[in-house]
Structure 1
Amino acid sequence: MNKPQPPRPIGWRRRARRRLVRPLSEASPADIAIVGLSCRFPGASNTEEFWRNLHDGVESISFYSPEDLAASGIDPAVLANPHFVPAGSLTEGAELFDASFFGINPREAESMDPQQRVFLECAWHALENAGYHPERYSGSIGVYAGCAMSTYFHQLLRNPGFLHLVGHLQALIGNDKDYLSTHVSYKLNLRGPSISIQSTCATSLVAVCVACEGIRSGSCDMALAGGVCIRAPQITGYYYEPGGIYSPDGRCRVFDSDAQGVVFGNGVGVVVLKRLVDALADGDFVHAVIKGWAMNNDGGSKASYTAPSIDGQADVIARAQAMAGVNPGTVTYIEAHGTATAAGDPVEIAALSKAFRRGTKKKGFCAVGSVKSNFGHLDHAAGVAGLIKTVLALKHRQIPPTLNFEQPHPAIPFADSPFYVNQTLSDWKCRRFPRRAGVSAFGIGGTNAHVMLEEAPRRQSLASSRPAHLLLISARTTTALETATSRLMEHLKAHPHLAIADVAYTSQVGRRAFSHRRTLVCQSVEDAVHALESTDARRVLSSKWRGRKRQVVFMFSGQGSQYVNMARGLYRFEPRFKKQVDRCAELLKP
């Protein structure tokens, strides 16, 4: 189960070193910044791969061979059923886990649901992407998350010998939904609220809403929010039922005239949230801003328990827009729940239209799409998948295509609505207002959630006065140190525009320091890449920390070795050094 840490997008921040270029339209103390992202979705092990797939219109649904299904334990007789569809979407490497990294012994790791393992890794990567080491952060960090029912636990129940070894309580703790959030809080030493959320398909977006409420109320200063759905085994397929929610051919045709259902898949997503005013003051990289959010339930005034409700959905959308203080006429993209069902899609567009018509009569100005067309329905992780997709679209100022759409569903009057289905990659243009978007997630049972997003305020790093910067890399083992060095080098190559001051600052304060360490003094991103590639031992220094903390002092050698302008560079560029030299000079005055 052990594995090296997969490549992840690296986040950088620099305290109080960014200048606001374009202010927000109407900044509010209630605004929440998204400062960190992490995901593992079908066909994508990180946010950069996810955006590449969205950008290129990649469909990440897999179709399984009889050999694949047999290896997963599927009875060959099942394949003969004409309604069996051998399709689904996979999260690669879900069976692997770097247990020792989190101090988990092999037997305990084996008893843990892959959902808990993968979510723990994703939470760690999200904080790294945000540029924070939790034990150095003075505020409280909460965790709000949910997962699907554990199918892995069913596998464990078939092995009573193993259950006897680990104990039934340990197996329950490692598999039950209630322990997802608190496991993360325990392993990452997070002391804010730790709450497990369960609202079926709306779970992960509800988790984001509840996390925003927690930050706004002061229950925590930062929060991890998201969800996960990993089934065991992942390769199974499903039975198509006419009139049901499953697609007959393994394709998800959201809003299309041929829409007949959805495909279910596996994935995990986590976002890191913080008050916008704090994020700006702390120099965080803000991916996007949550301006408003709302949650409700349909109640009993609908056709059935599982049926959607126009009134319920319209109400939650309108309340999120009202909280955000935005006119719906300024919202130019909606990431829909979009299940590609005959009942769900028409109701959703009708509800959106009802909410938008409270503030605008314009037609065809707002794009609508659904990430389910790319990889199906991720169940408890579906909402956060749509959220992360929309955040990436705001960052790149492009709207990805919704796949498998050819003709609009006859029950959806797009021509008379504010909406159109975005079929191709499009530049996200805006004139008078910032780019704004809404994200919806609706759960079976009637729980609805909607989040209003706005693009991040545009900021630029101020030029650093220092001519050189100290870059730090650390890992638990020598092998991991080489991997971390390679990851950093490749990331800097792919992002030459980065400010080396931001990279150095985050490497010093936003990463946990492990025992195997490497340091480098560099002047630019290009200089850092050159030094790391050359492995020049005179520049790239490696050592193992032995557990002793040593104080750093400035030594003045005396004995005639001083010279005019000695330490002038330090005095000019390092405020703390200058302050102490000035203090000494004052003390030496007669």
Structure 2
Amino acid sequence: MTVFNDADDARGSDRNDQDVTGIAIIGMSGRFPGAPSVEALWDLVCEGRDAFLKLRPDEIEDAFTDEERAAANYVPARPQLPDVDMFDAEFFGMFPREAAVTDPQHRVFLEVCWEALERAGYDPHRYPGLVGVFAGASMPTYLINNVLGERAKVEEFTSNYQIGCFQQIVGSVTDVLATRIAYKFNLRGPAIAIQSACSTSLLAVSQACQNLLTYSCDMALAGGVSITIPQRRGYIYQEGGMVSPDGVCRPFDEQAAGTVFGSGAGIVLLKRLEDALRDGDRIFAVIRGYGINNDGSDKIGFTAPSVEGQADAISSALANAGVDPSTIGYVECHGTATPLGDPIEFGGLRSAFAEAGDKRQLCALGSVKGNVGHLDAAAGVSGLIKTALALYHAKIPGMANYQRPNPRINLDDSPFYIPASTTDWPATEGPRRAGVSSFGVGGTNVHLVLEQAPASQGNVDDVARGPHILPLSARNEAALAAMRANLRDHLQANPALPLSQVAHTLQTGRRAFSHRTAIAANDIEQAIERLGSERVASGVATERPPIAFMFPARARNMSAWARHSTAANRNSPAGLTGARSCSGHL
């Protein structure tokens, strides 16, 4: 399926013989502190900005006392994810009460999964293959603080949750995150909840890859979400602990003293590379291999990291991908900025890259935690999205909040360097390659090896003659008007888009809802003009009512038929009007 996108000259290898095995990333979506989309995240990274803000006293919603907040080690900082209280329940076919008791993690994850499918140009209801879901979330604090609330409800939950509180908790438990997506989107592939603390979302991606390679599904949504309620709260700093003393995360820097936890969500849509090339999908990057293991007990404590465990996971991924470590130009690190974690992670990288020899300045290191903080269950997929965009745009991203290396990290005697700003990624003899690490509390380590997408085999020139029909549909008139404005703005920002591909995506890669409009245009300029016109006609589509055949019969039989016909109409999912239960957006 061809999707409309900007043709980036930097993406795609010059080698037409590049291996077509692997897993293609064909869609991405996310919500991050300071960045409401993957494009905004990339801008944040490229500009070296971060989302760390101190909270004013009148903004704080935590349970600390005034005395505790006045203490020197109280840090009133946490990266915020705005609008988590906003949700279009009607769009996803949910009643207001159901939406109210559904965790914001589930609600935001519904939004980003829908967006990832739309961005890739796929309507799951029309896609003939199996689509899987692999995902995880953080602790359901919304359930604890907002849904249950009172002590009596907590006791009822713990003693009789299967009966008394099931309707209240089913919208919050992490077990149903993946199956909720499958139910709402009619996805029939494997729907599996993944949980491994900080490495949850990257582990979900690896399991999605495994299921694709074994043909358990044909596409897969994989990622994670972490939104803790309330968001506007501080924390208590302890020297040598996990959190930062000043509310700023500085991975691998000499001033690194702890991480900063925040809220966010990320999802990638995956497909076997050969299938993605065949279908003309936009490919951001290719997953060539992955390694997964656990530290076991050979470390100083349950929450402590392990050099050997991390090194083995990275080495396994390189072996699985069949690539030489000297061909890796960038590694997105776990990068918690803790005094213990960063040196151990660097030691694991050095061990895994030992075969690279004595080369220096070979591989750049980075961590998105310097921009948005530690997103817990969404941390790994956030780093994956950043790295996929780095390969797509051929840029080496700089490390935010980095000045000088941690004194316990010897960069000079290693193949690594840490760029302070974003630079061009020079062309290499083969395709550009990168690694992504995510290490969970308890020792589940995951590493992925990524590669730039093969060169496009198709011609992006808009050779098809117009006029082209651009259809739009939504659940209501307000949403439809917003879609028109969104499409117009998108075309204005990307005037080089092939209009025939835009039309194809809108016709085949979008769900058709009840409120509809369409324009016909010969080129982008005409499409922009007509989308902005107030004379565009719209209407409400209705499905045909069921057909009944009537035959002469006695009154008793006619009465029975009438009762049966009425019941059939009443129980029909579409009812008499055929109005759909969801709306669409661009």
2:247 paired with 1:247? no
| Residues 498 and 348 (structure 1), Cα distance of their counterparts in 2 relative to 1, 3 Å cut | same
User: What is residue 114 of structure 1 aligned with on the other side?
Assistant: 104
Deviating more after overlay: 217-226 vs 392-401: 392-401
Cα deviation for residue 286 of structure 1 reads: 0.7
| Residues 197 and 307 (structure 1), Cα distance of their counterparts in 2 relative to 1, 3 Å cut | same
2:424 paired with 1:427? yes
User: What is residue 507 of structure 1 aligned with on the other side?
Assistant: 506
User: What is residue 181 of structure 1 aligned with on the other side?
Assistant: 178
User: What is residue 37 of structure 1 aligned with on the other side?
Assistant: 28
Q: Name the CA distance, whole Å, in 2 between partners of 1:74 and 1:38.
A: 35
Q: What per-residue deviation string (whole Å, max 9, x for no partner) do you get for residues 398-418 of structure 1? A: 122211211111111100111
Amino acid at match of 2:533: S
Match of residue 415, structure 2, among 409, 415, 418: 418
Match of residue 65, structure 1, among 56, 68, 81: 56
Cα deviation for residue 58 of structure 1 reads: 1.2
Runs ≥4 in structure 1, deviation > 6 angstroms? 160-166
2:290 paired with 1:299? no
User: What is residue 316 of structure 1 aligned with on the other side?
Assistant: 313
Cα deviation for residue 72 of structure 1 reads: 5.3
Instruction: Give the 5 Å matches for 1:210-359.
Output: 210-359=207-356
Q: Name the CA distance, whole Å, in 2 between partners of 1:486 and 1:94.
A: 24
TM-score (norm 2): 0.87
2:42 paired with 1:51? yes
Unmatched tracts of structure 2, length 5 or more: 158-162, 546-586
CA contact (8 A) 2:15 2:430 kept: no
Task: Let me know the Cα RMSD of the aligned residues.
Answer: 2.1
Q: Name the CA distance, whole Å, in 1 between partners of 2:377 and 2:464.
A: 47
**How many residues are aligned here?**
531
2:455 paired with 1:458? yes
CA contact (8 A) 1:414 1:420 kept: yes
Q: Name the CA distance, whole Å, in 1 between partners of 2:69 and 2:3.
A: 46
User: What is residue 564 of structure 1 aligned with on the other side?
Assistant: none
Q: Name the CA distance, whole Å, in 2 between partners of 1:455 and 1:265.
A: 30
Q: Name the CA distance, whole Å, in 2 between partners of 1:387 and 1:238.
A: 28
| Residues 310 and 25 (structure 1), Cα distance of their counterparts in 2 relative to 1, 3 Å cut | farther
User: What is residue 117 of structure 2 aligned with on the other side?
Assistant: 127
SS in structure 2 of the partner of residue 112 of structure 1: coil
Amino acid at match of 2:390: A
Q: What per-residue deviation string (whole Å, max 9, x for no partner) do you get for residues 329-377 of structure 1? A: 1110000000111111111111111111124431121110100011110
CA contact (8 A) 1:369 1:421 kept: yes
User: What is residue 519 of structure 2 aligned with on the other side?
Assistant: 520
SS in structure 2 of the partner of residue 77 of structure 1: helix
| Residues 303 and 515 (structure 1), Cα distance of their counterparts in 2 relative to 1, 3 Å cut | same
2:187 paired with 1:197? no
Q: What per-residue deviation string (whole Å, max 9, x for no partner) do you get for residues 565-584 of structure 1? A: xxxxxxxxxxxxxxxxxxxx
Q: What per-residue deviation string (whole Å, max 9, x for no partner) do you get for residues 159-178 of structure 1? A: 47999999510122111110
Q: Give me the identity figure in percent.
A: 48
CA contact (8 A) 1:13 1:505 kept: no
Q: Name the CA distance, whole Å, in 1 between partners of 2:411 and 2:43.
A: 29
Amino acid at match of 1:185: A
Q: What per-residue deviation string (whole Å, max 9, x for no partner) do you get for residues 181-216 of structure 1? A: 101111111000000000000000000000000000
| Residues 446 and 162 (structure 1), Cα distance of their counterparts in 2 relative to 1, 3 Å cut | closer
CA contact (8 A) 2:436 2:447 kept: yes
User: What is residue 482 of structure 2 aligned with on the other side?
Assistant: 483
Q: Name the CA distance, whole Å, in 2 between partners of 1:445 and 1:405.
A: 28
CA contact (8 A) 1:332 1:435 kept: yes
CA contact (8 A) 1:349 1:412 kept: yes
Instruction: Give the 5 Å matches for 1:95-110.
Output: 95-110=85-100
Amino acid at match of 2:229: A
Unmatched tracts of structure 1, length 5 or more: 1-9, 550-590
CA contact (8 A) 2:313 2:447 kept: yes
TM-score (norm 1): 0.87
User: What is residue 555 of structure 1 aligned with on the other side?
Assistant: none
| Residues 121 and 246 (structure 1), Cα distance of their counterparts in 2 relative to 1, 3 Å cut | same
Q: What per-residue deviation string (whole Å, max 9, x for no partner) do you get for residues 525-582 of structure 1? A: 22211221234x3xx4422212249xxxxxxxxxxxxxxxxxxxxxxxxxxxxxxxxx
Cα deviation for residue 20 of structure 1 reads: 8.6
